[in-house]
Amino acid sequence: MQPAVKLELSEKARAAATRTAPHVTIRGLSKKFSDATIYDNFDFDIPRGKLMSVFGPNGCGKSTLINMIAGLFPADSGEILFDGQPLNKIKFGYVFQNYREAVFPWLSAFDNIAYPLKVMGVPKKDRVVKVEKIVASLNVKIDLKLYPYQMSGGQQQLVSIMRALVVDPEILFLDEPFSALDYEMTLFMREQLQRVFQETHTTTVLVSHDLEEAVYLSDRILLLSRHPARAVEFVHYDAPRPRTDKTMTESDFIQTKAHCLEIFQREVRKG
Amino acid sequence: MNWKRLEILLPFVGVIVLLVVWSFTVWLRIVDPVLLPSPLSTFKALWAGMFHGKLGIDFLKTVERTIYSTFFAAIIAIPLGILLGSSEKLYRSVEFLIDFFRSTPASAMFPLFLVLFGVGDRTKISVAAFGAALVILFNVAYGVMNARKTRILAAKVMGASRTRVLWDVMLMESMPATFVGLRNGVSLALVIVVVAEMFIGSVDGLGQRVFEAQQMFEMPDMYAAIFAAGALGYGLNLLFLSIERRFVHWAGK
Ligand SMILES: Nc1ncnc2c1ncn2[C@@H]1O[C@H](COP(=O)(O)OP(=O)(O)O)[C@@H](O)[C@H]1O
Ligand SMILES: [Mg+2]
């Protein structure tokens, strides 16, 4: 009798441990481009189920970091583990900054969103169901028969975000996803992202050049130094969701933002 | 009066001016009428030749040779271009050869191909195919090489294999350039075919028709054959353009 109870306990403990264990572990990561060392023996843990922003000086290696994690190009050395495993068969969602060059102009919006499912070998009928589901959940009102070049910038980026989400990714990367959009669209897209995160709690890594946006959306903010990049600080911001315009007027928000800005400016001045 | 509506007639202005100048030149006898027949007798010769005479057959013969050359050029050059374009190192290592032969006038190759294939259709078609293939090859390879890096990365991060990236992304990316290559290729093939028909012992084709009419001093027939060749070139270009518009609707947008 007793061993069974023990087993149950340890299973619970294991579940709790998995819940709180880092999702991605980065150890000893190094990366050089011809003339510059971007990362030199870099260690970092990406927490599970959190929305994390990466913020740092221009050219410090933010894109390089998420590209290496997503396996777009290899690191020179070091290891990147997912749940402690080196396996790379993980489902990523990736949203590029330059949506114009990331969506496929020869496919309709619908086929763009369905493309990753096609790559995974999902039958056509299920693809249609999945695409319709994601479109409905984001409350998107776009004619999906249109081609990207017939759509506005915001609509194209929305298509590429849905394309990233349609596979139910384990980790979602967004590289300055809103920086090419106008302000109104940016505000709308932030809310969409917040809603998606609140519903799915997918581990999310957002590269942002807008500190206000980074704090507003994030549970954690990783502040990087100039390259070779170090993690200068890992700021926690735990305001409840959904966050609204009012959140930005609260002292907790203002203090967090001011703190990040101070560190950022100190790092920039060092350069 | 709505002037905007009349603007669609603008392309005809040049044609009408040409016909008027031509008629006056003939009427005032500025040029020997034997060398320059009137527009009317030229078009009579064109009509009669196309629908009741040998010119129609020659026209079809030239169309056939041009289509064959372009077809053979395309089936060789498109796969080869994709292969070369997918590896920049591979392309760089043969770039000089492609550029060199692309710059060599195809007419300079006639004697060589004559030795290889003898006097016949095979020589004409293969020289024209050779010229067109290099143009297509060059365009396809560049189209594949210039595929947007971000799109390739996007496909990669979605888990697409190398062959899938090649088929789904690089091939589609190269489509606009491929069509530019095909359009230039068919124009070049027509030029080479017509020249070959003139000088490589031919019994038919528009080139041979122009040449023979000139030898026999049948000026209306000669001008008629020239116009037929012009219409053919223009028509082929138009045909390829309309296929291109339909097929690579996203190009340049
Ligand atoms: N493919 C590359 N080749 C050479 N240098 C690169 C390459 N990609 C990025 N870099 C350099 O590495 C540094 C970090 O780039 P990146 O990660 O894009 O910066 P950011 O933090 O702005 O996203 C920059 O100085 C950039 O110039
Ligand atoms: Mg960047």
- Percent of chain B past pLDDT 70, that is, above it, reads 99
Residue A5 maps to a domain: no
Ligand 1 atom closest to Cα of residue A207: 23
pLDDT of residue A3: 47
Ligand 1: lining residues by beta carbon, under 6 Å: A 33-34, 36, 38, 58-64, 227
pLDDT of residue A9: 58
pLDDT beyond 80 at B180: yes
Mean pLDDT of B70-77: 96
pLDDT beyond 80 at A14: no
Residue A124 maps to a domain: yes
Mean pLDDT of B1-27: 87
Mean pLDDT of A242-262: 95
Residue A55 maps to a domain: yes
Per-residue confidence band for A75, with pLDDT thresholds at 50, 70 and 90: very high
Cβ separation B253–A105 shorter than 8 A? yes
Ligand 1 atom closest to Cα of residue A56: 21
Partners of B248 on chain A (C-beta within 8 Å) are: 106
Cβ separation A104–B153 shorter than 8 A? no
Average pLDDT, chain B: 91
Residues of chain A that touch chain B, judged by Cβ-Cβ distance less than 8 Å: 67, 70-72, 91-92, 94, 96, 98, 101-106, 115-116, 119-120, 147-149, 160, 163, 167
Instruction: Give, in words, the CATH class of B60-247.
Output: mainly alpha
Decide if B250 touches A, using CB distance below 8 A: yes
Instruction: From A101, A84, A82, A121, select the one nearest B158 (Cα to Cα).
Output: A121
**Statement to judge: residues A209 and A112 lie in one domain:** no
pLDDT beyond 90 at B34: no
Omega within 30 of 0 (cis) for the link into B39: no
Residue A39 maps to a domain: no
Residue A20 maps to a domain: no
For ligand 1, atom 22, name the residue with the nearest CA: A59
**Statement to judge: residues A113 and A206 lie in one domain:** no
What CATH number did the domain enclosing A80 receive?
3.40.50.300
Partners of A106 on chain B (C-beta within 8 Å) are: 172, 175, 248, 250
Decide if B154 touches A, using CB distance below 8 A: yes
Q: How far is A230 from chain B (nearest CA, A)?
A: 26
**Statement to judge: residues A114 and A158 lie in one domain:** yes
Which of B154, B160, B250 shows the shortest C-beta gap to A96?
B154
Q: How far is A205 from chain B (nearest CA, A)?
A: 15
Which of B151, B160, B164 shows the shortest C-beta gap to A101?
B151
| Mean pLDDT lowest among A57-61, A192-196, B29-33 | B29-33
Mean pLDDT of A218-239: 94
**Statement to judge: residues A190 and A263 lie in one domain:** yes
Decide if B253 touches A, using CB distance below 8 A: yes
SS3 of chain A: the string is CHHHHHHHHHHHHHHHHHHHCCCEEEEEEEEEECCEEEEEEEEEEECCCCEEEEECCCCCCHHHHHHHHCCCCCCCEEEEEECCECCCCCCEEEECCCHHHCCCCCCCHHHHHHHHHHHCCCCHHHHHHHHHHHHHHCCCCCCCCCCHHHCCHHHHHHHHHHHHHCCCCCEEEEECCCCCCCHHHHHHHHHHHHHHHHHHCCEEEEECCCHHHHHHHCCEEEEECCCCCCEEEEEECCCCCCCCHHHHHCHHHHHHHHHHHHHHHHHHHHC
pLDDT of residue A85: 83
Average pLDDT, chain A: 90
Decide if B248 touches A, using CB distance below 8 A: yes
pLDDT of residue A88: 66
For B136, the token pair is 């297509």
- Percent of chain B past pLDDT 90, that is, above it, reads 68
- Mutation target to probe the A interface, by most A beta carbons within 10 A, among B150, B156, B157 is B157
Per-residue confidence band for A268, with pLDDT thresholds at 50, 70 and 90: confident
**Statement to judge: residues A216 and A109 lie in one domain:** no
Give per-residue pLDDT as tens, A44-61.
999 999 999 999 999 999
| Mean pLDDT lowest among B85-89, B203-207, B241-245 | B85-89
pLDDT beyond 90 at A137: no
Give A205's strand partners.
A52, A173
pLDDT beyond 80 at B108: yes
Residue A29 maps to a domain: no
User: How many domains, chain A?
Assistant: 2
pLDDT of residue A18: 65
Cβ separation A72–B156 shorter than 8 A? yes
pLDDT of residue B120: 84
Phi and psi at residue B55, to the nearest 5°: -55, -40
CB pairs under 8 A between A and B: 53
pLDDT beyond 80 at B230: yes
**Statement to judge: residues A163 and A195 lie in one domain:** no
pLDDT of residue A87: 67
Partners of A119 on chain B (C-beta within 8 Å) are: 155, 158-160, 164
- Supply the range of the domain harboring residue A236: 45-90+173-271
pLDDT of residue A129: 96
Cβ separation B153–A96 shorter than 8 A? yes
**Domain end residue (candidates: A169, A195, A223):** A169
pLDDT of residue A29: 95
For residues A242 and A215, what is the distance between their CA atoms, to the nearest angstrom? 13
pLDDT of residue A4: 47
**Statement to judge: residues A122 and A228 lie in one domain:** no
**Statement to judge: residues A81 and A190 lie in one domain:** yes
Residue A34 maps to a domain: no
pLDDT of residue A103: 95
pLDDT of residue B60: 95
pLDDT beyond 60 at A141: yes
Mean pLDDT of A236-257: 94
CA–centroid distance, residue A63 to ligand 2 (Å) = 4
Mean pLDDT of B175-187: 94
